[in-house]
Structure 1
Amino acid sequence: MTGHPPAPPPEPASEDFPGRTAPHCTGLDELDAAVSRCCACPRLVAWREQVAGTRRAAFAAWEYWGRPVPGFGPADASLAVVGLAPAAHGGNRTGRMFTGDDSGAVLFAALHAVGLASQPMSTHRGDGLVLHGVRVTAPVHCAPPQNRPTPGERNTCRPWLARELSLLTGLRAVVVLGGFGWQALLPVLDAAGYRLPRPRPVFGHGAHVVLPGAGDRPELHLLGCYHPSRRNVFTRRLTFPMLVDVLGRAAGVSGLGPR
Protein backbone atom coordinates (compact mmCIF):
# COMPACT_ATOMS: atom_id res chain seq x y z
CA MET A 1 0.00 0.00 0.00
CA THR A 2 1.13 3.54 -0.68
CA GLY A 3 0.22 6.94 0.62
CA HIS A 4 -0.16 8.28 4.10
CA PRO A 5 -2.58 6.98 6.73
CA PRO A 6 -5.60 9.22 7.33
CA ALA A 7 -5.12 11.97 9.88
CA PRO A 8 -6.57 11.11 13.27
CA PRO A 9 -9.77 12.96 14.18
CA PRO A 10 -9.17 16.16 16.11
CA GLU A 11 -9.49 16.08 19.87
CA PRO A 12 -12.29 18.27 21.32
CA ALA A 13 -9.67 20.19 23.34
CA SER A 14 -7.58 21.09 20.30
CA GLU A 15 -7.85 24.63 18.96
CA ASP A 16 -8.62 23.35 15.47
CA PHE A 17 -11.47 21.07 16.60
CA PRO A 18 -14.22 23.41 15.28
CA GLY A 19 -12.42 24.11 12.00
CA ARG A 20 -11.69 20.43 11.29
CA THR A 21 -15.02 19.07 12.52
CA ALA A 22 -17.77 21.52 11.51
CA PRO A 23 -17.33 21.32 7.72
CA HIS A 24 -17.84 17.54 7.78
CA CYS A 25 -21.13 17.61 9.71
CA THR A 26 -23.89 16.57 7.32
CA GLY A 27 -26.88 17.63 9.41
CA LEU A 28 -27.85 19.83 12.33
CA ASP A 29 -28.15 16.91 14.76
CA GLU A 30 -24.57 15.88 14.00
CA LEU A 31 -23.39 19.48 14.23
CA ASP A 32 -25.17 20.09 17.55
CA ALA A 33 -23.63 16.95 19.03
CA ALA A 34 -20.16 18.05 17.93
CA VAL A 35 -20.67 21.57 19.29
CA SER A 36 -21.62 20.20 22.71
CA ARG A 37 -18.28 18.29 22.92
CA CYS A 38 -16.04 21.25 22.03
CA CYS A 39 -13.31 22.26 24.50
CA ALA A 40 -11.24 24.40 22.13
CA CYS A 41 -11.11 27.57 24.27
CA PRO A 42 -9.47 26.95 27.67
CA ARG A 43 -10.72 30.18 29.28
CA LEU A 44 -14.32 29.44 28.32
CA VAL A 45 -14.09 25.81 29.39
CA ALA A 46 -12.77 26.83 32.81
CA TRP A 47 -15.48 29.47 33.27
CA ARG A 48 -18.46 27.40 32.14
CA GLU A 49 -17.38 24.51 34.38
CA GLN A 50 -16.70 26.79 37.34
CA VAL A 51 -20.18 28.30 37.06
CA ALA A 52 -21.73 24.85 36.70
CA GLY A 53 -19.91 23.68 39.80
CA THR A 54 -20.61 26.62 42.10
CA ARG A 55 -24.08 27.46 40.77
CA ARG A 56 -26.28 30.36 41.80
CA ALA A 57 -28.25 30.01 45.03
CA ALA A 58 -31.56 30.28 43.20
CA PHE A 59 -30.59 27.29 41.06
CA ALA A 60 -28.79 25.20 43.67
CA ALA A 61 -30.96 22.17 42.88
CA TRP A 62 -30.20 22.32 39.15
CA GLU A 63 -27.74 20.06 37.41
CA TYR A 64 -26.09 22.63 35.15
CA TRP A 65 -25.43 21.81 31.50
CA GLY A 66 -21.94 23.31 31.75
CA ARG A 67 -21.00 22.60 28.11
CA PRO A 68 -21.20 24.48 24.80
CA VAL A 69 -24.82 25.26 23.93
CA PRO A 70 -25.92 24.32 20.39
CA GLY A 71 -28.43 26.24 18.32
CA PHE A 72 -32.15 25.58 18.68
CA GLY A 73 -34.78 25.33 15.99
CA PRO A 74 -35.80 23.28 12.95
CA ALA A 75 -33.59 22.32 10.04
CA ASP A 76 -36.00 23.90 7.54
CA ALA A 77 -35.82 27.34 9.20
CA SER A 78 -35.87 30.25 6.76
CA LEU A 79 -35.06 32.75 9.52
CA ALA A 80 -32.10 32.69 11.90
CA VAL A 81 -31.68 34.80 15.04
CA VAL A 82 -28.04 35.30 16.03
CA GLY A 83 -27.20 36.53 19.52
CA LEU A 84 -23.90 36.79 21.40
CA ALA A 85 -23.24 33.78 23.66
CA PRO A 86 -25.08 31.70 26.28
CA ALA A 87 -25.61 33.30 29.68
CA ALA A 88 -23.74 31.77 32.61
CA HIS A 89 -26.94 30.91 34.50
CA GLY A 90 -29.18 30.76 31.42
CA GLY A 91 -28.12 28.58 28.51
CA ASN A 92 -25.08 27.33 30.42
CA ARG A 93 -27.53 26.03 33.04
CA THR A 94 -30.37 24.77 30.86
CA GLY A 95 -28.45 23.61 27.79
CA ARG A 96 -30.67 25.50 25.38
CA MET A 97 -29.89 28.80 23.70
CA PHE A 98 -31.53 31.87 25.29
CA THR A 99 -33.34 29.67 27.80
CA GLY A 100 -33.63 30.44 31.49
CA ASP A 101 -32.49 34.08 31.55
CA ASP A 102 -34.04 37.54 31.21
CA SER A 103 -32.91 38.00 27.61
CA GLY A 104 -34.51 34.75 26.58
CA ALA A 105 -37.75 35.62 28.36
CA VAL A 106 -38.06 38.73 26.21
CA LEU A 107 -36.92 37.09 22.98
CA PHE A 108 -39.23 34.08 23.12
CA ALA A 109 -42.19 36.21 24.19
CA ALA A 110 -41.57 38.34 21.10
CA LEU A 111 -41.20 35.28 18.85
CA HIS A 112 -44.50 34.00 20.23
CA ALA A 113 -46.15 37.35 19.59
CA VAL A 114 -45.05 37.15 15.95
CA GLY A 115 -46.25 33.55 15.67
CA LEU A 116 -42.83 31.92 15.46
CA ALA A 117 -42.88 30.15 18.85
CA SER A 118 -45.49 27.80 20.26
CA GLN A 119 -45.40 29.43 23.70
CA PRO A 120 -44.13 32.70 25.19
CA MET A 121 -41.80 31.15 27.78
CA SER A 122 -38.62 29.11 27.53
CA THR A 123 -37.58 27.71 30.90
CA HIS A 124 -35.81 24.40 30.27
CA ARG A 125 -35.23 21.69 27.68
CA GLY A 126 -38.34 19.59 27.45
CA ASP A 127 -40.71 22.46 28.35
CA GLY A 128 -42.65 21.86 25.12
CA LEU A 129 -41.41 24.92 23.25
CA VAL A 130 -41.42 24.54 19.46
CA LEU A 131 -40.06 27.14 17.04
CA HIS A 132 -41.75 27.63 13.68
CA GLY A 133 -39.41 28.39 10.79
CA VAL A 134 -36.76 30.05 12.96
CA ARG A 135 -33.48 28.85 14.46
CA VAL A 136 -31.80 30.65 17.36
CA THR A 137 -28.03 30.50 17.66
CA ALA A 138 -24.92 32.51 18.56
CA PRO A 139 -21.37 33.10 17.27
CA VAL A 140 -19.92 31.85 20.57
CA HIS A 141 -21.38 28.68 22.09
CA CYS A 142 -19.87 28.83 25.59
CA ALA A 143 -20.78 31.24 28.37
CA PRO A 144 -17.94 33.82 28.60
CA PRO A 145 -16.85 35.68 31.76
CA GLN A 146 -18.69 39.02 32.01
CA ASN A 147 -20.53 38.12 28.77
CA ARG A 148 -17.44 39.18 26.81
CA PRO A 149 -15.82 36.64 24.49
CA THR A 150 -12.42 37.59 23.14
CA PRO A 151 -11.87 38.08 19.40
CA GLY A 152 -9.79 34.90 19.41
CA GLU A 153 -12.60 32.89 21.01
CA ARG A 154 -15.06 34.32 18.50
CA ASN A 155 -12.79 33.30 15.62
CA THR A 156 -12.18 29.81 17.00
CA CYS A 157 -15.94 29.25 17.31
CA ARG A 158 -16.75 30.70 13.86
CA PRO A 159 -16.75 27.38 11.92
CA TRP A 160 -19.75 26.18 13.96
CA LEU A 161 -21.83 29.19 12.93
CA ALA A 162 -20.67 28.97 9.32
CA ARG A 163 -21.67 25.33 9.03
CA GLU A 164 -24.95 25.86 10.87
CA LEU A 165 -26.04 28.58 8.47
CA SER A 166 -24.90 26.56 5.45
CA LEU A 167 -27.07 23.64 6.60
CA LEU A 168 -30.10 25.94 6.67
CA THR A 169 -30.57 25.62 2.92
CA GLY A 170 -33.82 27.61 2.92
CA LEU A 171 -32.39 30.55 4.85
CA ARG A 172 -33.86 33.86 3.72
CA ALA A 173 -33.17 36.25 6.60
CA VAL A 174 -31.00 36.70 9.70
CA VAL A 175 -31.83 38.93 12.66
CA VAL A 176 -28.66 39.87 14.52
CA LEU A 177 -29.02 40.85 18.17
CA GLY A 178 -26.29 43.36 18.95
CA GLY A 179 -23.08 44.65 17.42
CA PHE A 180 -20.92 41.70 18.51
CA GLY A 181 -23.08 39.24 16.60
CA TRP A 182 -23.16 41.55 13.59
CA GLN A 183 -19.37 41.78 13.41
CA ALA A 184 -19.04 38.03 13.93
CA LEU A 185 -21.56 37.21 11.20
CA LEU A 186 -20.22 39.36 8.36
CA PRO A 187 -17.04 37.28 7.75
CA VAL A 188 -19.19 34.13 7.77
CA LEU A 189 -21.45 35.53 5.07
CA ASP A 190 -18.49 36.79 3.09
CA ALA A 191 -16.85 33.36 3.15
CA ALA A 192 -20.16 31.77 2.11
CA GLY A 193 -20.05 33.81 -1.10
CA TYR A 194 -22.54 36.56 -0.34
CA ARG A 195 -21.45 39.90 -1.79
CA LEU A 196 -21.22 42.38 1.07
CA PRO A 197 -21.51 46.08 0.28
CA ARG A 198 -18.37 48.23 0.50
CA PRO A 199 -17.92 49.68 2.99
CA ARG A 200 -19.36 46.86 5.03
CA PRO A 201 -22.80 47.56 6.50
CA VAL A 202 -22.77 49.09 9.97
CA PHE A 203 -24.82 47.64 12.80
CA GLY A 204 -27.77 49.61 14.10
CA HIS A 205 -31.23 48.87 15.38
CA GLY A 206 -33.51 48.65 12.38
CA ALA A 207 -30.65 48.22 9.91
CA HIS A 208 -31.77 46.18 6.91
CA VAL A 209 -29.37 45.03 4.22
CA VAL A 210 -30.28 42.79 1.30
CA LEU A 211 -27.43 40.61 0.06
CA PRO A 212 -27.65 39.18 -3.49
CA GLY A 213 -28.00 35.42 -3.73
CA ALA A 214 -24.89 33.25 -3.62
CA GLY A 215 -24.74 30.24 -5.94
CA ASP A 216 -28.03 28.38 -5.63
CA ARG A 217 -29.03 30.37 -2.55
CA PRO A 218 -31.64 33.15 -2.71
CA GLU A 219 -30.96 36.71 -1.60
CA LEU A 220 -30.46 37.12 2.12
CA HIS A 221 -32.00 39.82 4.29
CA LEU A 222 -29.77 40.94 7.17
CA LEU A 223 -31.56 42.84 9.94
CA GLY A 224 -30.06 44.49 13.01
CA CYS A 225 -31.73 44.68 16.43
CA TYR A 226 -30.50 45.76 19.83
CA HIS A 227 -29.79 42.79 22.07
CA PRO A 228 -32.62 42.09 24.57
CA SER A 229 -30.19 42.26 27.49
CA ARG A 230 -31.44 43.22 30.93
CA ARG A 231 -29.66 46.57 30.63
CA ASN A 232 -31.12 47.42 27.22
CA VAL A 233 -34.64 46.45 28.28
CA PHE A 234 -34.42 48.22 31.66
CA THR A 235 -33.18 51.47 30.09
CA ARG A 236 -35.78 51.06 27.31
CA ARG A 237 -33.11 51.25 24.65
CA LEU A 238 -34.97 48.21 23.38
CA THR A 239 -38.69 47.92 24.03
CA PHE A 240 -40.86 44.88 23.45
CA PRO A 241 -42.70 46.52 20.50
CA MET A 242 -39.33 47.38 18.92
CA LEU A 243 -38.24 43.74 19.09
CA VAL A 244 -41.58 42.48 17.80
CA ASP A 245 -41.37 44.93 14.90
CA VAL A 246 -37.96 43.68 13.75
CA LEU A 247 -38.93 40.02 14.13
CA GLY A 248 -42.19 40.65 12.28
CA ARG A 249 -40.39 42.28 9.36
CA ALA A 250 -37.91 39.39 9.30
CA ALA A 251 -40.73 36.88 9.26
CA GLY A 252 -42.28 38.70 6.33
CA VAL A 253 -39.17 38.70 4.16
CA SER A 254 -38.48 35.07 5.15
CA GLY A 255 -41.75 33.98 3.66
CA LEU A 256 -43.11 32.96 7.05
CA GLY A 257 -45.72 35.71 7.24
CA PRO A 258 -48.20 36.06 10.11
CA ARG A 259 -49.14 32.80 11.80
Structure 2
Amino acid sequence: MSDHSPLPFAEAPKNCRRCPRLVGLRQSLRKEHPDWWNAPVPAFGDPDAWLAIVGLAPGREGANRTGRPFTGDASGDLLFATLDRAGLSKGKFQSSIDDGVTLKGTIILNAVKCLPPENKPNGAEINNCRPFMVKALDALPNLRVLLALGKIAHDSVIRMTGGRLAEYKFGHGVEHRLPDGRVLIDSYHCSRYNVNTKRLTAEMFEAVFEMASGFRAIDPPN
Protein backbone atom coordinates (compact mmCIF):
# COMPACT_ATOMS: atom_id res chain seq x y z
CA MET A 1 0.00 0.00 0.00
CA SER A 2 1.11 3.55 -0.70
CA ASP A 3 0.24 6.96 0.70
CA HIS A 4 1.81 8.75 -2.25
CA SER A 5 -0.27 11.64 -3.52
CA PRO A 6 0.40 14.09 -6.35
CA LEU A 7 -1.02 16.79 -4.02
CA PRO A 8 0.16 15.82 -0.51
CA PHE A 9 -0.65 19.24 0.94
CA ALA A 10 -4.33 18.81 -0.01
CA GLU A 11 -4.88 15.47 1.71
CA ALA A 12 -6.79 14.64 4.88
CA PRO A 13 -4.67 13.23 7.73
CA LYS A 14 -4.75 9.45 8.02
CA ASN A 15 -6.58 9.71 11.33
CA CYS A 16 -8.92 12.53 10.31
CA ARG A 17 -11.72 12.80 12.87
CA ARG A 18 -14.08 15.25 11.18
CA CYS A 19 -16.86 12.67 10.71
CA PRO A 20 -17.66 10.48 13.75
CA ARG A 21 -19.67 7.94 11.76
CA LEU A 22 -16.87 7.41 9.26
CA VAL A 23 -14.27 7.28 12.02
CA GLY A 24 -16.25 4.52 13.76
CA LEU A 25 -16.42 2.44 10.58
CA ARG A 26 -12.72 2.98 9.91
CA GLN A 27 -11.77 1.87 13.40
CA SER A 28 -13.88 -1.29 13.21
CA LEU A 29 -12.38 -2.20 9.83
CA ARG A 30 -8.86 -1.61 11.11
CA LYS A 31 -9.51 -4.29 13.71
CA GLU A 32 -11.18 -6.62 11.21
CA HIS A 33 -8.72 -6.03 8.36
CA PRO A 34 -5.47 -4.56 9.74
CA ASP A 35 -3.72 -5.07 6.40
CA TRP A 36 -6.15 -2.80 4.52
CA TRP A 37 -5.59 0.91 3.86
CA ASN A 38 -8.55 1.96 6.08
CA ALA A 39 -7.86 5.71 5.92
CA PRO A 40 -8.76 8.73 3.79
CA VAL A 41 -7.84 7.83 0.22
CA PRO A 42 -5.50 10.29 -1.51
CA ALA A 43 -5.87 11.64 -5.01
CA PHE A 44 -4.21 9.74 -7.85
CA GLY A 45 -2.88 11.07 -11.11
CA ASP A 46 -1.12 13.96 -12.81
CA PRO A 47 -0.55 17.24 -10.91
CA ASP A 48 -0.54 18.99 -14.30
CA ALA A 49 -3.96 17.55 -15.15
CA TRP A 50 -6.38 19.36 -17.45
CA LEU A 51 -9.13 16.89 -16.43
CA ALA A 52 -10.22 16.06 -12.88
CA ILE A 53 -12.48 13.06 -12.32
CA VAL A 54 -14.53 13.41 -9.14
CA GLY A 55 -15.96 10.19 -7.73
CA LEU A 56 -18.23 9.56 -4.78
CA ALA A 57 -16.21 7.84 -2.06
CA PRO A 58 -13.89 4.83 -1.61
CA GLY A 59 -15.45 1.40 -2.00
CA ARG A 60 -15.17 -0.96 0.96
CA GLU A 61 -13.03 -3.57 -0.77
CA GLY A 62 -11.77 -1.21 -3.45
CA ALA A 63 -9.98 2.02 -2.59
CA ASN A 64 -10.59 1.61 1.14
CA ARG A 65 -8.63 -1.64 0.92
CA THR A 66 -5.91 -0.62 -1.53
CA GLY A 67 -5.48 3.09 -0.93
CA ARG A 68 -5.88 4.11 -4.60
CA PRO A 69 -9.11 5.48 -6.12
CA PHE A 70 -11.15 2.98 -8.15
CA THR A 71 -8.68 0.18 -7.50
CA GLY A 72 -9.47 -3.21 -6.00
CA ASP A 73 -13.11 -3.73 -6.96
CA ALA A 74 -15.22 -3.72 -10.13
CA SER A 75 -15.80 0.04 -10.16
CA GLY A 76 -12.41 0.70 -11.68
CA ASP A 77 -12.63 -1.73 -14.58
CA LEU A 78 -14.67 0.49 -16.86
CA LEU A 79 -13.00 3.71 -15.71
CA PHE A 80 -9.43 2.60 -16.36
CA ALA A 81 -10.37 0.85 -19.61
CA THR A 82 -11.93 4.10 -20.81
CA LEU A 83 -8.95 6.16 -19.67
CA ASP A 84 -6.71 3.83 -21.63
CA ARG A 85 -8.79 4.14 -24.80
CA ALA A 86 -8.81 7.92 -24.41
CA GLY A 87 -5.02 8.01 -24.14
CA LEU A 88 -5.17 9.32 -20.58
CA SER A 89 -3.34 6.47 -18.88
CA LYS A 90 -0.15 4.49 -19.35
CA GLY A 91 0.37 0.87 -18.37
CA LYS A 92 -1.97 -2.07 -17.91
CA PHE A 93 -4.58 -1.70 -15.18
CA GLN A 94 -4.78 -4.85 -13.07
CA SER A 95 -6.85 -3.50 -10.16
CA SER A 96 -3.78 -3.41 -7.93
CA ILE A 97 -1.72 -0.47 -6.67
CA ASP A 98 1.35 -2.39 -7.86
CA ASP A 99 0.20 -2.56 -11.50
CA GLY A 100 2.30 0.46 -12.48
CA VAL A 101 -0.54 2.42 -14.09
CA THR A 102 -0.01 6.17 -14.35
CA LEU A 103 -2.35 8.91 -15.59
CA LYS A 104 -1.56 11.57 -18.19
CA GLY A 105 -3.34 14.91 -18.01
CA THR A 106 -5.86 13.46 -15.57
CA ILE A 107 -6.32 13.23 -11.82
CA ILE A 108 -8.88 11.23 -9.81
CA LEU A 109 -10.28 12.26 -6.44
CA ASN A 110 -13.44 11.66 -4.44
CA ALA A 111 -16.06 13.98 -2.99
CA VAL A 112 -15.68 12.03 0.27
CA LYS A 113 -12.25 10.61 1.08
CA CYS A 114 -13.31 7.95 3.61
CA LEU A 115 -15.52 4.90 3.26
CA PRO A 116 -19.13 5.68 4.27
CA PRO A 117 -21.54 3.01 5.56
CA GLU A 118 -23.44 1.42 2.65
CA ASN A 119 -21.58 3.78 0.29
CA LYS A 120 -23.92 6.59 1.36
CA PRO A 121 -22.27 9.64 2.92
CA ASN A 122 -24.58 12.10 4.62
CA GLY A 123 -24.67 15.82 3.98
CA ALA A 124 -22.46 16.74 6.91
CA GLU A 125 -19.79 14.28 5.81
CA ILE A 126 -19.80 15.63 2.27
CA ASN A 127 -19.50 19.17 3.61
CA ASN A 128 -16.71 18.19 6.00
CA CYS A 129 -14.66 16.72 3.17
CA ARG A 130 -15.23 19.44 0.59
CA PRO A 131 -12.34 21.66 1.81
CA PHE A 132 -9.89 18.93 0.80
CA MET A 133 -11.39 18.79 -2.68
CA VAL A 134 -11.29 22.59 -2.95
CA LYS A 135 -7.64 22.66 -1.95
CA ALA A 136 -6.77 19.93 -4.45
CA LEU A 137 -8.63 21.47 -7.39
CA ASP A 138 -7.29 24.94 -6.64
CA ALA A 139 -3.76 23.51 -6.86
CA LEU A 140 -4.19 22.30 -10.46
CA PRO A 141 -2.98 25.19 -12.65
CA ASN A 142 -3.98 23.57 -15.95
CA LEU A 143 -7.39 22.27 -14.88
CA ARG A 144 -10.08 22.99 -17.46
CA VAL A 145 -12.65 20.22 -17.09
CA LEU A 146 -14.21 18.35 -14.18
CA LEU A 147 -16.03 15.07 -14.75
CA ALA A 148 -18.49 14.28 -11.96
CA LEU A 149 -19.33 10.60 -11.51
CA GLY A 150 -22.81 10.71 -10.04
CA LYS A 151 -25.04 13.34 -8.49
CA ILE A 152 -23.25 13.58 -5.12
CA ALA A 153 -20.00 14.48 -6.87
CA HIS A 154 -21.89 16.89 -9.14
CA ASP A 155 -23.60 18.64 -6.22
CA SER A 156 -20.36 18.94 -4.26
CA VAL A 157 -18.58 20.55 -7.20
CA ILE A 158 -21.44 23.02 -7.73
CA ARG A 159 -21.48 23.98 -4.05
CA MET A 160 -17.69 24.30 -4.11
CA THR A 161 -17.86 26.88 -6.90
CA GLY A 162 -20.71 28.84 -5.34
CA GLY A 163 -23.33 27.83 -7.88
CA ARG A 164 -26.99 27.14 -7.17
CA LEU A 165 -28.00 23.49 -7.58
CA ALA A 166 -31.31 24.51 -9.17
CA GLU A 167 -29.38 26.11 -12.01
CA TYR A 168 -27.09 23.12 -12.57
CA LYS A 169 -29.20 20.00 -12.83
CA PHE A 170 -27.39 16.66 -12.95
CA GLY A 171 -27.83 14.56 -16.06
CA HIS A 172 -25.63 12.06 -17.83
CA GLY A 173 -23.76 13.76 -20.66
CA VAL A 174 -24.82 17.25 -19.57
CA GLU A 175 -22.16 19.96 -19.60
CA HIS A 176 -22.15 23.03 -17.38
CA ARG A 177 -20.07 26.18 -17.44
CA LEU A 178 -19.05 26.82 -13.84
CA PRO A 179 -18.87 30.27 -12.25
CA ASP A 180 -15.06 30.03 -12.23
CA GLY A 181 -14.93 29.44 -16.01
CA ARG A 182 -14.20 25.75 -15.90
CA VAL A 183 -16.47 23.13 -17.44
CA LEU A 184 -18.29 20.42 -15.49
CA ILE A 185 -19.50 17.32 -17.33
CA ASP A 186 -21.82 14.84 -15.63
CA SER A 187 -21.77 11.07 -15.94
CA TYR A 188 -23.50 8.22 -14.24
CA HIS A 189 -21.11 6.54 -11.81
CA CYS A 190 -19.16 3.60 -13.19
CA SER A 191 -20.34 1.34 -10.37
CA ARG A 192 -20.89 -2.36 -10.87
CA TYR A 193 -24.63 -1.84 -10.40
CA ASN A 194 -24.86 0.81 -13.12
CA VAL A 195 -22.77 -1.26 -15.50
CA ASN A 196 -24.63 -4.52 -14.85
CA THR A 197 -28.02 -2.86 -15.28
CA LYS A 198 -26.84 -1.09 -18.47
CA ARG A 199 -27.65 2.29 -17.01
CA LEU A 200 -24.10 3.09 -18.03
CA THR A 201 -22.51 1.39 -21.03
CA ALA A 202 -18.94 1.58 -22.29
CA GLU A 203 -20.13 3.63 -25.25
CA MET A 204 -21.95 6.11 -23.00
CA PHE A 205 -18.88 6.47 -20.81
CA GLU A 206 -16.54 6.98 -23.74
CA ALA A 207 -18.86 9.69 -25.03
CA VAL A 208 -18.44 11.85 -21.92
CA PHE A 209 -14.67 11.60 -22.20
CA GLU A 210 -14.93 12.67 -25.83
CA MET A 211 -17.00 15.65 -24.64
CA ALA A 212 -14.32 16.48 -22.09
CA SER A 213 -11.55 16.36 -24.68
CA GLY A 214 -13.38 19.00 -26.67
CA PHE A 215 -12.68 21.51 -23.91
CA ARG A 216 -9.03 20.61 -23.44
CA ALA A 217 -7.83 23.58 -25.47
CA ILE A 218 -9.75 26.26 -23.58
CA ASP A 219 -7.67 28.64 -21.49
CA PRO A 220 -7.54 27.58 -17.83
CA PRO A 221 -9.04 30.08 -15.36
CA ASN A 222 -6.63 32.58 -13.85
Structure 1-normalised TM-score? 0.77
Q: Match of 1:204? A: 171
Give the match for residue 127 of structure 1: 99
Evaluate the alpha carbon distance shift between residue 49 and residue 122 of structure 1 in structure 2; reply closer, same or farther with a 3 A threshold: farther
Which structure has the greater CA radius of gyration? 1
Asked if the contact 1:49–1:67 (Cα under 8 Å) also holds between the matched residues in 2, the reply is no
Q: 1:142 aligns with which of 88, 94, 114?
A: 114
1:31 aligns with 2:10: yes
CA contact (8 A) 1:113 1:120 kept: no
Task: Summarize deviations over 1:157-203 as a string: whole Å, max 9, x none.
Answer: 1100111110012110000000111111111112xxxxx47842100
Match of 1:238 in 2: 200
**C-alpha distance in structure 1 between counterparts of 2:107 and 2:15, whole Å:** 20
1:99 maps to 2:71: yes
Q: Structure 1 residue 53: deviation in Å?
A: 3.2
Q: 1:51 aligns with which of 13, 17, 29?
A: 29
Quick check: 1:76 aligned with 2:55? no
What is the aligned length?
Answer: 213
- Give the CA deviation at 1:30: 2.2
Counterpart of 1:117 in structure 2 is 89
Instruction: Establish whether residue 170 from structure 1 lines up as the match of residue 137 from structure 2.
Output: no
Asked whether the equivalents of residues 110 and 120 of structure 1 are also in contact (C-alpha less than 8 Å), the reply is: no
Please say if residues 91 and 100 of structure 1, whose CA atoms lie closer than 8 Å, have aligned partners that are also in contact. yes
Q: Residues 35 and 160 of structure 1 are in contact (CA less than 8 Å); yes or no, is this contact kept in structure 2?
A: no
Moved over 3 A (4+): 34-37, 196-199
Cα distance in 2, alignment partners of residues 106 and 49 from structure 1: 30
Please give the TM-score of this superposition, normalised by the length of structure 2. 0.89
Write the distance in 2 (CA, Å) between the matches of 1:203 and 1:168. Answer: 24
SS for the counterpart of 1:93 is helix
Please identify which structure carries the higher strand content: 2
Q: 171-180 or 62-71, which moves further after superposition? A: 62-71
Q: In the alignment, is the contact (CA less than 8 A) between 1:82 and 1:137 conserved in 2?
A: yes
- Give 2:20's aligned residue: 42
SS in 2 for 1:253: coil
Percent sequence identity is 39
After superposition, give the CA deviation of every residue in 1:89-141 in whole Å (9 maximum; x if it has no partner). 10010001111111111111111111101135252223211000011011100
Contact conserved, 1:109 with 1:119, CA < 8 A, in 2? Answer: no
Q: CA RMSD in A?
A: 2.0
Residue of structure 2 equivalent to 1:6:
none
**Residues 140/235 of structure 1: CA separation in 2 closer, same or farther (3 Å cut):** same
Secondary structure, aligned partner of 1:108: helix
Q: What is the SS of the residue equivalent to 1:82? A: strand
Q: Which amino acid aligns with 1:228?
A: C
Contact persistence 1:209–1:222 (CA under 8 A): yes
Q: CA deviation at 1:226?
A: 0.3
CA contact (8 A) 1:36 1:70 kept: no
- Aligned residue among 163, 185, 188 for 2:160: 188
Q: Which residues of structure 1 form unaligned runs of 5+?
A: 1-26, 56-61, 191-195
Give the Å deviation of 1:237.
0.5
Inter-partner Cα distance in structure 2 for 1:247 and 1:117:
13
In structure 2, stretches of 5+ residues that fail to align are 1-5
